């Protein structure tokens, strides 16, 4: 096993400097062990250390010196059990300096983790940070050690702290760390926490499978309004999760909503009868100057907004989008949150993403409209 040389050399005993405090009969094998370790001859180093063990009446200090070198020689030789035993003697010795304590706890934690001794790794890592250790990579190892012992709550706590630190520093959290936190939250049945982590994954790693999971949860949430199913299908389409069956359902909902242009575009060649129905309704709809004037004359903005929405959904964005904005501004809409949601999506389609985000941020509905607006904002990023 390859040993991290700088760490090894920082911890091996300087026998020449230790001659005043070790007996000559111990100094000789100890110095030979050190030279062998420096040369990467770890089995030879361990053999010399066994000679040192044979010296009678070892003092605590002498035993400490042997243990310091034995830990890293054993690690280099692939003798994990011996390395762990030696490291534990060093970390519990009264003469271990604070710096050496941190380095040895680091080595012990890594060794125990590789040996799948997660309880020992956790103990070493907890002590490492209590002793002032600052290696952030070890915080992840601590979370993983807890997780692998079945301590989902402890792992989630550690991972949450890591992610919050990442967010404060404006750096990306690796996908695997977010997935690990999500797994912990699922085990803990923490639906709110899992949803929040899923949205972090969507923001940084927008894979179709993450979108599928999140959107399925939107539909299952208490109080979700059935009228918003059309918007849910639209988000499925945008994120690559719309099946042929879903496309037909979306087309039918679009027809019911008076949006035959969208229905025709969505259904495509999947259902000939439904496509013909959309074409007939599209041909029958009158959306000329007279209809626009009537909508403008109405006391509220509903007719104007709906006319613009129908035009925009059929592809006439240049004409429809201004009417939607004017209808919303006129006020009196039956469902203003729905209107803002649909306006935001239309603005996005028109390439006005900043306006779309601002509009979507104003959607406050608790019936699913707010969730859909937030998820569309995530998608637009």
Predicted confidence (pLDDT) per residue in 268-310, tens digit: 889 999 999 988 988 888 788 998 999 999 999 999 999 999 9
pLDDT tens digit sequence for 341-369: 999 999 999 999 999 999 999 998 889 99
Q: Does residue 151 lie in a domain region? A: no
Domain annotation covers residue 143: no
Which 3 state secondary structure label does DSSP give 269? coil
The CB-side HSE value for 170 (13 A sphere, CA atoms) comes to 0
Domain membership of residue 156 (yes or no) is no
Instruction: Report the percent of the chain where pLDDT is more than 70.
Output: 94
Tell me the average pLDDT of the chain: 92
Closest CA to 248 of 275, 218, 226, 284: 275
Residues 111 and 64 in one domain: yes
- Looking at 285, 303, 325, the residue that finishes a domain is 285
Per-residue pLDDT, averaged over 49-75, amounts to 93
- Crossing angle of helices 369-380 and 336-349, in 10° steps, is 20
> Do 307 and 347 sit in the same domain of this protein?
yes
Contact 75, 107 (CB under 8 A): yes
Give yes or no: residues 278 and 241 share one domain: yes
201 and 237 housed in the same domain: no
pLDDT higher than threshold 50 for residue 18: no
Residues 74, 94, single domain; the answer is yes
Range of the domain at 351: 286-365
* pLDDT tens-digit map of 82-100: 999 999 999 999 999 999 9
Say if residue 15 is in the same domain as residue 31: yes
Compute the distance between CA of residue 353 and CA of residue 374 in angstroms, rounded to an integer: 14
Is pTM beyond 0.75? Reply is: yes
Question: Residue 148, CB half-sphere, CA atoms under 13 Å: how many?
Answer: 17
Confidence of residue 21 (pLDDT cuts 50, 70, 90): low
Structural domain total, the chain: 4
Confidence at residue 20, expressed as pLDDT on a 0 to 100 scale = 46
Which two structure tokens, joined as six digits, stand for 326? Answer: 């004017």
Q: What is the CA radius of gyration of the chain?
A: 34
Which residues, 6 or more positions from 284, have their beta carbon under 8 angstroms from its beta carbon? Answer: none
How many residues are given for the chain? 381
pLDDT at 107: 96
Is residue 377 in some structural domain?
no
Confidence of residue 381 (pLDDT cuts 50, 70, 90): confident
Instruction: Show the CA angle centred on residue 49, arms to residues 45 and 51, nearest 5°.
Output: 120
pLDDT recorded at residue 92: 95
């Amino acid at each position: 096993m390859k040993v991290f040389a700088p760490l090894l050399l920082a911890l091996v005993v300087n026998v020449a400097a230790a001659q005043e405090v070790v007996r000559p009969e111990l100094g000789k094998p100890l110095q030979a062990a050190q030279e062998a370790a420096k040369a990467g001859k770890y089995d030879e180093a361990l053999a010399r250390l066994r000679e040192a063990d044979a010296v009678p009446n070892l003092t605590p200090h002498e035993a400490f010196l042997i243990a310091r070198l034995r830990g890293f020689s054993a690690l280099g030789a692939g003798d994990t059990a011996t390395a762990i035993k030696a490291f534990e003697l060093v970390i519990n010795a009264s003469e271990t300096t604070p710096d050496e304590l941190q380095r040895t706890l680091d080595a012990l934690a890594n060794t125990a983790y590789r040996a799948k001794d997660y309880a020992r790794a956790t103990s070493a890592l907890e002590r490492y940070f209590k002793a002032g250790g600052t290696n952030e990579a070890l915080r992840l190892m601590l979370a993983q050690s807890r997780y692998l012992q079945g301590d989902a709550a402890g792992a989630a706590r550690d991972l949450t702290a890591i992610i919050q630190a990442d967010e404060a520093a404006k750096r990306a959290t690796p996908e695997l760390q977010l997935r690990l936190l999500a797994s912990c939250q699922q085990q803990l049945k923490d639906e709110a926490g899992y949803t929040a982590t899923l949205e972090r994954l969507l923001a940084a790693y927008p894979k179709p499978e993450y979108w599928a999971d999140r959107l399925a949860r939107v539909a299952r949430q208490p109080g979700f309004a059935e009228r918003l199913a059309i918007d849910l299908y639209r988000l499925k389409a945008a994120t690559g999760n719309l099946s042929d069956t879903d496309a037909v359902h979306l087309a039918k909902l679009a027809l019911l909503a008076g949006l035959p242009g969208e229905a025709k575009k969505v259904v495509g060649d999947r259902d000939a009868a439904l496509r013909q129905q959309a074409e007939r309704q599209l041909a029958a709809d009158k959306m000329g100057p007279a209809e626009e004037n009537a909508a403008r004359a109405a006391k509220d903005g509903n007719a104007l907004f709906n006319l613009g929405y129908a035009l925009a959904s059929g592809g006439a964005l240049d004409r429809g989008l201004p009417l939607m904005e004017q209808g919303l501004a006129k006020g009196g809409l039956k469902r203003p949150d729905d209107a803002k949601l649909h306006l935001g999506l239309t603005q996005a389609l028109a390439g006005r993403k900043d306006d779309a985000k601002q509009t979507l941020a104003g959607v406050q509905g608790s019936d699913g409209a707010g969730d859909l607006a937030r998820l569309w904002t995530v998608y637009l990023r």
